[in-house]
């Protein structure tokens, strides 16, 4: 903070010196104007009032127009040279003109997303775009509408920059127009699925490990439009695609390239692959659609387990939807914590909403470690793009989880203390004897 104050003081001193120089020149100019000239008859008889000449004291009290004009020019030039810094999230969200102050604010959270702009107007426009509703033109928050690379997410750190890229429409129907009723309809279709539904659609309903939710296990031959619709709603458990990957036809192009690259590297085209999902479900913040988060593992397909005939379930209770959404968040968080402890993984594809990884023979690279930690920090800090209501539920669940951990730790501490006390009493009795 002392460095910031010193810089501000130095700039103020420079401005004061410039103002002083301008005033001195103004005084000289006024003195030249006030030199006496021989008066003509016309001047003597003129009824026009003589222009008042300012004294030096008056001059300092009221700055002349020229001085004000020069000051405006200097400020305008400084404004053009100055860079503006935008922090888009966290409690320090805002636009900053002072770099040092910006660095201090940005460093307070590892999940800070920021960018530098050459003008205040650009920064304000970007902030408005970022805080506004999602649209295909909004490159900040249309995570599934915009192609990214692993470099993009790795640069989303303190003082990192968000790379601006042109949006790419990747499906025939706009996922940002999915309504709550459409989501409920798809969910209930899965819950009521029977043997006939499975044979017709090549989609099997699977119970997820947390809660009472149902997700889709997708096999070769499934309709790619239907698969992508389930992807956009966060309702996929696993995909076993065919060799031509037709089932994931409408997924992001870079994701499909990453899958093809994995198949080439591992040489498993004949054996086939699987895509295992841990996902949140689609969310809404008022009228804004918030697309789900996906953590996906690519692996070589082993022998498939036998699937029994599905037992249809009752339609979903609206109150259960929030529970499922929170459970999806914790599924991603828990799996991330697990894979971070693994030393041998590779990040195959990454966007702000999607992370794809696979097991790897060698140690994880520094670049992939950085990408994984940055993506994980968005989840761990509850900083993902979720509705306000969902955030509140997650915060409450995290608090309950911490309270249970503290209670468990306290009980363990009490047990250890009791054992030590009992051991001490036994030792004391033995010594007395």
pLDDT value for 98: 84
Q: What is the share, in percent, of the chain residues with pLDDT greater than 70?
A: 71
145-to-115, 167, 252, 378 alpha-carbon distances in Å: 21, 6, 8, 19
Assess whether pLDDT exceeds 50 at residue 101.
yes
Assess whether pLDDT exceeds 90 at residue 92.
no
pLDDT value for 407: 84
Higher pLDDT among residues 103 and 112, named by residue: 103
- Confidence tier at 268 by pLDDT (50, 70, 90): confident
Q: What is the share, in percent, of the chain residues with pLDDT greater than 90?
A: 28
Long-range contacts, stretch 370-376, CB < 8 angstroms, 24+ apart = 370/154, 371/150, 371/153, 371/154, 371/347, 372/336, 372/339, 372/340, 372/345, 372/347, 373/340, 374/153, 374/154, 374/156, 374/157, 375/153, 375/336, 375/350, 376/336, 376/340
Assess whether pLDDT exceeds 60 at residue 137.
no
346/349 Cα distance (integer angstroms) = 9
221/201 Cα distance (integer angstroms) = 8
Least confident of 26-35, 247-256, 371-380, 389-398: 26-35
Least confident of 121-135, 198-212, 368-382: 121-135
pLDDT value for 15: 74
Assess whether pLDDT exceeds 60 at residue 320.
yes
Report the candidate in 244, 432, 210, 237 with the shortest Cα–Cα distance to residue 333. 210
Question: Quick one: three-class SS letters along 351-386?
Answer: CCCEEEEEECCCCCCHHHHHHHHHHHHHHHCCCCCC
Higher pLDDT among residues 322 and 211, named by residue: 322
pLDDT value for 168: 36
Least confident of 15-24, 34-43, 124-133, 246-255: 34-43
CB 326 within 8 A of CB 390: yes
- Confidence tier at 44 by pLDDT (50, 70, 90): very low
For residue 117, the surrounding DSSP H or E stretch is strand 114-117
99/117 Cα distance (integer angstroms) = 12
Quote the tokens at residue 281. 């479900």
CB 29 within 8 A of CB 81: no
3-state secondary structure of 87: strand
3-state secondary structure of 112: coil
**Nearby residues of 70 by Cβ (< 8 Å), 6 or more positions away:** 18, 22
- Confidence tier at 433 by pLDDT (50, 70, 90): low
144/171 Cα distance (integer angstroms) = 10
- In whole numbers, what is the pLDDT of the chain averaged over residues? 76
Higher pLDDT among residues 190 and 85, named by residue: 190
What's the mean pLDDT in 262-290? 88
Give the chain's largest Cα–Cα span: 134
427-to-413, 421, 423, 433 alpha-carbon distances in Å: 21, 10, 6, 10
Question: Tell me: the pLDDT tens digits for 216-258?
Answer: 999 999 999 999 999 999 999 999 999 899 999 999 999 999 9
Least confident of 78-82, 328-332, 343-347: 78-82
pLDDT value for 42: 47
CA angle 100, 105, 107 (to 5 degrees): 95
pLDDT value for 78: 61
Higher pLDDT among residues 323 and 431, named by residue: 323
What's the mean pLDDT in 43-53? 51
What's the mean pLDDT in 333-355? 90
109/381 Cα distance (integer angstroms) = 9
Question: Tell me: the pLDDT tens digits for 156-179?
Answer: 333 333 333 333 333 446 788 899
Q: Which range, 91-95, 204-208, 227-231, is most confident?
A: 227-231
């Amino acid at each position: 903070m002392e460095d910031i104050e010193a810089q501000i003081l130095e700039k103020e001193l420079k401005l004061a010196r410039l103002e002083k120089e301008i005033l001195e020149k103004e005084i000289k100019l006024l003195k030249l104007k006030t030199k006496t000239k021989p008066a003509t008859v016309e001047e003597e008889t003129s009824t026009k009032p003589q222009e008042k000449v300012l004294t030096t004291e008056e001059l300092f009290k009221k700055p002349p127009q020229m001085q004000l004009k020069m000051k405006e020019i200097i400020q305008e030039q400084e404004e053009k040279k100055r860079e503006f810094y935008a922090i888009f999230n966290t409690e320090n969200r805002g636009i900053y003109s002072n770099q040092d102050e910006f660095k201090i604010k940005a460093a307070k959270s590892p999940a800070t997303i920021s960018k530098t702009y050459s003008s205040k107007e650009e920064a304000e426009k970007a902030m408005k775009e970022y805080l506004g509703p999602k649209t295909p033109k909004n490159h900040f928050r249309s995570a599934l509408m915009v192609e990214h690379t692993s470099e993009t997410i790795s640069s989303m750190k303190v003082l990192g920059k968000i790379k601006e890229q042109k949006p790419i429409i990747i499906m025939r129907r706009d996922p940002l127009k999915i309504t709550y009723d459409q989501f409920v309809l798809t969910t209930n279709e899965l819950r009521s699925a029977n043997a006939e539904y499975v044979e017709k659609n090549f989609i099997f309903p699977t119970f997820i490990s947390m809660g009472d939710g149902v997700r889709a296990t997708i096999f070769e031959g499934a309709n790619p439009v239907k698969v992508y619709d389930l992807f956009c709603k966060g309702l996929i458990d696993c995909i076993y695609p065919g060799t031509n990957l037709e089932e994931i036809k409408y997924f992001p192009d870079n994701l499909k390239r990453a899958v093809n690259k994995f198949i080439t590297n591992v040489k498993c085209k004949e054996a086939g692959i699987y895509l295992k999902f841990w996902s949140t479900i689609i969310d809404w913040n008022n009228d804004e659609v918030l697309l789900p988060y996906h953590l996906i593992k690519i692996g070589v397909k082993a022998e498939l387990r036998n699937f029994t005939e599905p037992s249809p379930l009752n339609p979903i209770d609206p109150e259960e939807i929030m529970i499922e959404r929170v459970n999806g968040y914790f599924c991603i968080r828990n799996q991330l914590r697990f894979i971070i402890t693994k030393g041998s993984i590779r990040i195959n594809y990454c966007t702000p909403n999607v992370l794809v990884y696979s097991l790897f023979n060698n140690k994880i690279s520094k670049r992939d470690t950085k990408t994984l930690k940055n993506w994980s920090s968005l989840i761990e800090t509850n900083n993902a793009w979720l509705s306000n209501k969902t955030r509140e539920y997650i915060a409450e669940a995290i608090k309950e989880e911490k309270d249970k951990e503290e209670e468990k730790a306290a009980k363990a501490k009490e047990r250890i203390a009791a054992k030590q006390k009992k051991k001490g009493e036994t030792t004391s009795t033995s010594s007395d004897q």
